[in-house]
Amino acid sequence: MRMTGTPLKKERWTLTFDKHLKQEVIAAARKRGVYPVQILEELVREKFNPFGHTDVTDPTAYVCTLRRKSQDMTDEEFIAELKRWEKVTS
């Protein structure tokens, strides 16, 4: 558990990856108005967090992504599934 007044100490790493991916990360960061490292940190958290829905920073984008993954469902079926998940998590 972290004390509220102490700053989080971060390590510096050097990562090398595809030039096109780097451009996409930078474009997404500019679009959201954040540093590129924040985009990368969010991606890593989403990948390794088994309960990814708890760390959602943009709920609208998250629901849009879920909706794209389930395009074969009607809107009513999709909303019913969301309501079932609400009952499970509460």
The pLDDT of residue 1 is 45
Tokens of 87: 């009952």
Name the pTM for this structure: 0.45
21-43 tens-digit pLDDT = 899 999 999 999 999 988 888 88
- Residue 16 in tokens: 């090398």
Q: Is residue 7 part of a domain?
A: no
Q: Low-confidence residues of the chain, pLDDT below 50? A: 1
**pLDDT for residue 30:** 94
pLDDT value of residue 27: 93
CA-based diameter of the chain, in Å? 49
- Is the same domain home to 50 and 68? no
- Number of structural domains (the chain) is 2
Could you list the residue range(s) of the whole structural domain that residue 62 is in? Answer: 58-90
* 65 shares a domain with 82: yes
Q: Are residues 66 and 89 in the same domain?
A: yes
CA torsion 47-51-57-62 (nearest 10°) is 80
Residue 90 shares a structural domain with residue 64: yes
